[in-house]
Amino acid sequence: KFEAEKIIYISCNPTTQARDTEVLLQKGYELKRLTLVDMFPHTPHIETVGIFQKN
Exactly one of 8, 12, 23, 37 is catalytic; name it: 12
Rounded-to-integer distance, Cα 8 and Cα 40, Å: 21
How far, in Å, are 28, 31, 52 from residue 4 at the CA level?
Answer: 11, 14, 10
- Other beta carbons within 10 angstroms of residue 29's beta carbon come to 22
Q: Is 7 a catalytic residue?
A: no
Residues noted as catalytic = 12
